[in-house]
Structure 1
Amino acid sequence: MGSLVAGANAALTAENPGLTDVMVGLGWSVIASRGPQAELVPLALLCDGDGRVLSDAHLVFFNQLASPDSAVVFAGSEDQEQIDVHLPGVPEQVAKIVFAVYADPEIRGPGTFAAVRDAYIHVAGADGRELVRFGIAPGKLDSITAMMFGELYRHRDGWKFRALGQGYTTGLRGLAADFGFGI
Structure 2
Amino acid sequence: MTGQLVPGANAALTAENPGLTSVVVGIHWDQIASRGPSAELVPMAIVCGPDGHVLSDEDLVFFNQIESADASVRYLDESDQEEIDVDFASIPETVDKIVFAVYLDPDPRSPKDLGSVRSMSVRVCAPDGRELVAFPLPSERNHLIDAVILGELYRHRSEWKFRAVGQGYTTGLTGLRADHGIGRAR
Q: Which bracket does the TM-score occupy, shorter chain normalised?
A: over 0.9
Determine if contact 1:39/1:107 at 8 Å carries over to the other structure.
Answer: no
Matched, 1:169 2:170: yes
What is the root-mean-square deviation of aligned Cα atoms in Å?
Answer: 1.2
- Tell me which moved more, 79-88 or 100-109: 100-109
Alignment-derived partner of residue 159 in structure 2: 158
Alignment-derived partner of residue 21 in structure 1: 22
Q: Which amino acid aligns with 1:113?
A: L
Distance 1:174 1:140 in 2: 17
3-state SS of paired residue (1:7): coil
Determine if contact 1:38/1:105 at 8 Å carries over to the other structure.
Answer: no
3-state SS of paired residue (2:178): helix
Please show how residues 102-141 of structure 1 align to structure 2 within 5 Å.
102-106=103-107, 108-141=109-142
Alignment-derived partner of residue 10 in structure 1: 11
Distance 1:106 1:79 in 2: 24
- 1:37 shift after superposition: 1.2
Distance 2:78 2:105 in 1: 19
- Tell me which moved more, 108-117 or 23-32: 108-117
3-state SS of paired residue (1:3): coil
Runs of 4+ in 1 over 6 A off after TM superposition: none
Alignment-derived partner of residue 147 in structure 1: 148
Distance 1:174 1:5 in 2: 23
Q: Deviations over 1:2-43 (max 9, x none)?
A: 100000000000000000010000010110111231000000
Distance 1:52 1:87 in 2: 19
- 1:169 shift after superposition: 0.2
- 1:112 shift after superposition: 1.4
TM-score by length of 2: 0.95
TM-score by length of 1: 0.97
Distance 1:167 1:102 in 2: 10
Alignment-derived partner of residue 98 in structure 2: 97
Q: Percent identity?
A: 58
- Ranges in structure 2 where 5+ consecutive residues have no aligned partner: none
For these two proteins, the number of residue pairs brought into alignment is: 183
Distance 2:49 2:14 in 1: 20
Distance 1:134 1:121 in 2: 5
- Ranges in structure 1 where 5+ consecutive residues have no aligned partner: none
Q: Which amino acid aligns with 1:155?
A: H
Inter-CA distance 22–107: structure 2 relative to 1 (3 Å threshold): farther
Distance 1:182 1:110 in 2: 25
Determine if contact 1:38/1:108 at 8 Å carries over to the other structure.
Answer: no
Distance 1:166 1:119 in 2: 13
Alignment-derived partner of residue 36 in structure 1: 37
